[in-house]
Amino acid sequence: MSKKVLIISGSPRKNGNSDILCGQFEKGAREAGNTVEKVNLRELKIGYCKACYGCRGTGACVQKDDMESLLEKMVAADVLVLATPVYFYSMDGQMKTMIDRTLSRYTEMRDKDVYLIATAAAGRRAMARTMDALKGFTDCLPGAKVRREIYGEGVYQRGEVESTPAYREAYEAGKAV
């Protein structure tokens, strides 16, 4: 069955390591006949959550920016892919800012299959807190299941991930959604 797959690439670095893994996932998921969209947070204007709770009862954020359409896509997707570089042992600010802005609609994001992608200069053990932080978000989504965590480890310069097992792994994960 064809699924709606939404890939959210959080790196500010175009064609960086996590972005490349997103591309691999996208390729696999498309080849398997799914409807796939990749969104690059670096191209969007997304303000910080102001904790004004203006969304309470309305389900709509008071800020009118690119988060409005991204929320629509997130609610509609069957599969969510969240990809971030590790910055100081956590996700980057772009990903966290986006996650905070789901406040108005995250309870509508039901029964998603979730794939997590992280890239870091260090090894897998140093990436645990980043994956945990992403799962802190997905734990809040009703019925969400994390299907796979993809670790692009030991990659510093743009493109280094292409010679790691994660490159193939991301493709295979996309193919099997």
Selected from 8, 19, 23, 151, the binder of ligand FMN by CB under 6 A is 19
Site track for ligand FMN across 93-122, x = CB under 6 A: --------------------------xxxx
Residue 6 vs 91, nearer CB to ligand FMN: 91
Which stretch, 9-17, 46-54, 69-77, 100-108, contacts ligand FMN (CB under 6 A)?
9-17
Strand residue runs (E) in 65-141: 79-85, 113-119
Q: Which of residues 134-163 bind ligand FMN (CB under 6 A)?
A: 155-156, 158
Selected from 87, 97, 108, 146, the binder of ligand FMN by CB under 6 A is 87
Amino acid at 30: R
Return d(Cα 159, Cα 66) in angstroms, integer: 28
CB of 93 to ligand FMN, least distance (A): 9
Adjacency order of strands within the sheet including 4-9 = 35-40, 4-9, 79-85, 113-119, 145-152
Rounded to 10 degrees, what is the CA torsion of 39, 78, 101, 10? -30
